[in-house]
Structure 1
Amino acid sequence: MSMMDQVGQTVLSVDGVSKSYLMGEVTVKALHDISLDFGAGQLVVLLGASGSGKSTLLNIVGGLDVPDSGTVSFKGQDINAKGEAGLTAFRRRSIGFVFQFYNLIASLSALENVQLVTELVENPMPPEEALRLVGLGDRINHFPSQLSGGEQQRVAIARAVAKRPELLLCDEPTGALDYRTGKLVLEVIEKVNRELGTTTLVITHNVSISGMADRIITLRSGEVVEDRRNEKKISPSELSW
């Protein structure tokens, strides 16, 4: 059995993906011939410095961007085969996004921010349940301005998981948080992965965070330079940096 299947059967395949951007008069190659498979239920950390290509890869996997060449397949189906309409349906149905900045609507309560997403999908988790899952059952009527940064990020995670996504994509989810609060947010992400079985990709430049992962993929200059299974996975509460 390959490393990709250690946790579950392959659900997401990236095959020969390349992506370049024109920056002024210079062409910058963000990704070069990336091929990766991700197993159902895996918690994967994508490591790399700024400019390594990890955010570009996450955006392409999540249907927010399209590759110049190569394919991304989810459950055997090319996510780009049906154009923008197909990508929109894919993002809505299958993907939960968590970004560095929380993107909450200031005039809506925590509950209302989560409800916005649950109204878009067929079989959502009750918003109250999603907020309880992230430890905010007693804060559902609070507005973002009444919540700490860590609490706002947990609302953002609740919003992402309330639609029961099969893929949870987290882009520097602790980047705007202090050490203690960041660890609390990582504990929530690990809990979602463990209890719901959601295939989870976390991108970060923080090597220490890789300790919580089933698998660590390191990118440099748009290429995969290491792809390894984590033999000594630890709880986010044990992380230090």
Structure 2
Amino acid sequence: MQSQETEQQDSAIASPARPIYALSQVSKTYRVGEVEVHALRSVSLELFEGEFVVLLGPSGSGKSTLLNILGGLDVPSSGEVYFRDRLLTASNDAALTQFRRQHVGFVFQFYNLIPSLTAQENVALVTELAARPMDPRDALGLVGLAHRLDHFPAQLSGGEQQRVAIARAIAKCPEVLLCDEPTGALDFETGKLVLEVLERVNRDLGTTTAVITHNAGIAGMADRVIIMRSGEIMRQQHNPTKLSPAQLEW
């Protein structure tokens, strides 16, 4: 009996995390004049709860299109996208808007802060729409900006502005954080500070995090790296040992 209980415990420990996203044969085609552009080609993929994923590839590889579909900002031309048990590809615009508000935080390369609002006020804009928001001061404290609450974007460095953008994204307590080239406009040292914040959010809050980048140096901090080219997933690799952002080089 004891052996059977031990086997059950071992099996539970070995069970993989539950998929938070499941994509099946997802394609996206844009028409530019008379030319069809195949941004995604039959992509099948799962993302798991609490996972830190890096989507790696050059410009035009389909990374941003895939991220936009995951976030409900775009819809595929064909295929299915599930978020947990919800079929996103059956949702209308209003339902996708609610999905984004309730479940997803976005971080972009450019910070999109409102210049006339302080850091705290920029974050508070999002919390007013969220069902279970974090206090804006707590969100800014989590990204190391508790001392900059009342500063305007023009009074902040690029790295500090990006951290305000991350605080704004996590303040609504999303289940998923989607990041589009979050270090693309930053220098090496500042970029590593921003990556440290993303790592902390993933670790401390358990937020499933996907970062798209063309910078292969960032891949070492991921649980899993998804390499894309020409709208397809070429291969995936798991990092047996994750690097801290301080250990990254590029």
Please classify the TM superposition score into its range, dividing by the shorter chain length. over 0.9
Whether contact under 8 Å (1:80, 1:86) holds in the other structure is no
**Cα distance, 1:58 vs. partner?**
0.2
Whichever residue aligns with residue 148 of structure 1, its letter is S
Provide structure 2 residue ranges, at least 5 long, that are not aligned to the other structure: 1-10
- SS of structure 2 residue aligned to 1:237: helix
Partner in structure 2 of residue 176 of structure 1: 185
Question: For residues 1-241 of structure 1, what are the structure 2 equivalents within 5 Å?
Answer: 6=16, 8-241=17-250
**Cα distance, 1:80 vs. partner?**
2.9
- SS of structure 2 residue aligned to 1:122: coil
- SS of structure 2 residue aligned to 1:46: strand
Whether contact under 8 Å (1:218, 1:224) holds in the other structure is yes
Whichever residue aligns with residue 40 of structure 2, its letter is L
- SS of structure 1 residue aligned to 2:40: strand
**Cα distance, 1:232 vs. partner?**
2.2
Whether contact under 8 Å (2:119, 2:164) holds in the other structure is yes
Provide structure 1 residue ranges, at least 5 long, that are not aligned to the other structure: none
Q: Which of the two has higher C-alpha Rg?
A: 2
Partner in structure 1 of residue 5 of structure 2: none
Distance of 1:80 and 1:88 partners within structure 2: 13
Greater share of residues in helix: 2
Distance of 1:25 and 1:45 partners within structure 2: 34
Whether contact under 8 Å (2:134, 2:171) holds in the other structure is yes
Whether contact under 8 Å (2:20, 2:47) holds in the other structure is yes
Q: TM-score, normalised to structure 2's length? A: 0.93
Residues 176-217 of structure 1 show CA distances to partners (whole Å, capped at 9, x for unaligned) of: 000000000000000000000000000000001000000000
Residues 46-66 of structure 1 show CA distances to partners (whole Å, capped at 9, x for unaligned) of: 000000000000000100000
What is the percentage of aligned positions where both structures have the same residue?
63
- SS of structure 2 residue aligned to 1:210: helix
Which moves more between the two structures, 24-33 or 105-114? 24-33
Whichever residue aligns with residue 133 of structure 1, its letter is L
Count of residue pairs brought into register by the alignment: 237
Which moves more between the two structures, 27-36 or 77-86? 77-86
Whichever residue aligns with residue 72 of structure 1, its letter is V
Whichever residue aligns with residue 69 of structure 2, its letter is I
Whichever residue aligns with residue 201 of structure 1, its letter is A
Residues 84-126 of structure 1 show CA distances to partners (whole Å, capped at 9, x for unaligned) of: 0110000000000000000000000000000000000111000
Distance of 2:89 and 2:167 partners within structure 1: 27
Whether contact under 8 Å (1:80, 1:87) holds in the other structure is no
Q: TM-score, normalised to structure 1's length? A: 0.97
Whether contact under 8 Å (1:149, 1:177) holds in the other structure is yes
- SS of structure 2 residue aligned to 1:233: coil
Distance of 1:183 and 1:144 partners within structure 2: 20
Following TM superposition, the consecutive aligned residue runs of length 4 or more in structure 1 with deviations greater than 2 angstroms are: none
**Cα distance, 1:24 vs. partner?**
2.2
